[in-house]
Structure 1
Amino acid sequence: MAAAMRATTVRRSRIATRRIATTTASVMRASSGRDDDGDNQVDEGNLCTASESCITGQCRSDRDHDMVADATDNCPDAANQNQADGDSDGRGNACDNCPTVANSNQADSNNNGVGDACEQQGETCNGRDDDGDNQIDEGL
């Protein structure tokens, strides 16, 4: 009985023609709303379009093996199945060089792995603690 109910549900989802919005990595985009393999995942973010085991249909690439297709993965080279993006810049926390401050360009001028947006400023002679080390104008 449960299998028959599931087939009915799948049949309904296949004939849905309205466009729905899906959220992946805090980025909104239009979706066809199709679920061709009946696994209750919209095909755009799904690894397989026609069968859960990728025996039939198009099987999408997933370099980091986190079950999120590279085309929609916010970190295609770093596993992050939950697609967390704390600063909503389109880069997942797992591969964001500054996960607390939005920096979609991932600029890192000194190539130290910390994004410029999160890089602490150097000390300047201005009577303040510019570099956040609780010392005022040290070394100047």
Structure 2
Amino acid sequence: LHEEVVSFYDAVVRSNLGLSVINKNHELGWDFQYSLKKNELFIFPSESFNPQEIDLLDPRNYHLISPNIYRVQKFGELGSSGFWFRHHLETNLDNSKTLKSITYKEIYSHKGLEGIVKVRINHLGKIVQIGEY
């Protein structure tokens, strides 16, 4: 995996030039996987849960999915400031070490992003789309 961080300023410049904000046809031949924006939701795999093995659109599986859904809280360069995800039900910004990987995830390498699945939910919390939108 490779990342390309686009600042808000760069996004505006690209848009004003008639270019796509997200470069899906990269000159280095990278295949586009997904974009990350603040508050988007991702399902993370765990030792006991693989999102590839269950129907994510089936409401009967929500009790299995819920502990593994995180929203993008903040991000920068992956190697330095990292990507921060907060559990989708978490309202407090408590970053104590004991809650790491429970209420929040901080990721500093591409390995931490392997197997994640981007999802979109509606206003009732139902998963309505899987993958990039």
Query: Normalised by the shorter chain, which TM-score bucket?
Result: under 0.3
**Larger RCO (CA within 8 A; separation ≥ 6):** 2
Q: Looking at secondary structure, tell me which structure has more strand per residue.
A: 2
Radius of gyration: which is bigger? 1
Q: Looking at secondary structure, tell me which structure has more helix per residue.
A: 2
Give the TM-score normalised by structure 1: 0.21
Give the TM-score normalised by structure 2: 0.21
